[in-house]
Every structure is written in structure tokens, then in C-alpha cells.
Amino acid sequence: MQIDKNLVMYLEKLGRIELSEEQRTASEKDLQDILTYIDTLNELNTDGVEPASHSFPVANVMRQDCVTNTAQREAVLQNAPNEKDGCFVVPKTVE
């Protein structure tokens, strides 16, 4: 897969970030390097190997349906850049 400037700009849009021209050029190269590196995996012969999305043979890690957390609003809101009426405040979003 070929990374170009348009693709980087598209990814910026999806991630709601804006890069400078230098950062854009650098990202283009970095992303291309990552993909080339990953492509090495395609050289492996995987005939007869079942597709997997996890590398460890672990399954069914679950918990009981019991409430273990109590209200900790103050602690949670400490991470809010801005708060009002017990809520996080973010720039106006319109549907």
C-alpha cells in the first residue's frame, strides 16, 4: 500500500488533528516505513494456519455481574479540562 499526502490529510480529518507541512511529510514517511515493515509478514507461508486475532491461547476471560465501583465523580472530573454541573465540558457539537 502506498501512503501519500492525501491519505495523511484524510487521516488527520478522521482523527480531528491538524499537522504542519513538516509533520505531514514526516508522517508520510513513518507510515510508509511501518507498512513496509508489516509487509514482511506476508513473506511467511501461512498455509494451513487458522486465522487468529490474538496471539495468546487465552479465551473466556470474564467477570461476574456485580457492582464494584462507587460514585467517584470528583476523581473522574479531575481529568476534565473544564467542568460544569458535574459534566465534562467540550466544544459545541452539532448533529
Partner 1 sequence: MEWEIVMGLEVHTELATETKIFCGCSTAFGGEPNTHVCEICSGLPGTLPLLNQRVVEFAVRTGLATNCEITRKNKFDRKNYFYPDLPKAYQISQLYLPICRNGFVEITDADGNPKKIGIHEIHMEEDAGKLIHDEFDDCTLVDYNRCGVPLLEIVSEPDFRSADEVLQYLEKLRAILQFTGVSDCKMQEGSLRADVNLSVRPKGQKEFGTRTEMKNLNSFRAIGRAIAYEANRQIELLEDGEKIVQETRRWDDNKGYSYAMRSKEDAQDYKYFPEPDLPPIEISEETIESIRSAMPELPEQKKRRYIDELGLPEYDTSILTSDKAYVSLFEETLALCGSPKDVANWIMGEVMKLLNDTATLPENMELSPKDLAAVIQMVKSNKINRGTGKTVLEKVFTEGVDPEKYVADNNLAQITDLSALRPVIEEVIAANEKSVTEYKSGKTQAIGYLMGQAMRALKGKAPAQEVQKLLHEILD
Q: Which residues bind partner 1 (CB under 8 A)?
A: 10, 13-16, 53-54, 56, 58-69, 71-73, 76-77, 79, 84-95
Per-residue DSSP letter, 65: S
Cβ proximity to partner 1: between 6 and 22 the closer is: 6
Decide: 47 and 19 in contact? Cβ < 8 Å.
Answer: no
Cβ proximity to partner 1: between 44 and 75 the closer is: 75
Q: What is the rounded CA–CA span in Å between residue 75 and residue 40?
A: 45
Q: What is the rounded CA–CA span in Å between residue 76 and residue 88?
A: 10
Cβ proximity to partner 1: between 20 and 55 the closer is: 55
Smallest distance from partner 1 to CB 79, Å: 7
Smallest distance from partner 1 to CB 39, Å: 17
Smallest distance from partner 1 to CB 45, Å: 22
Q: Would you call 70 helix, strand, or coil by DSSP?
A: coil
Q: What is the rounded CA–CA span in Å between residue 24 and residue 5?
A: 7
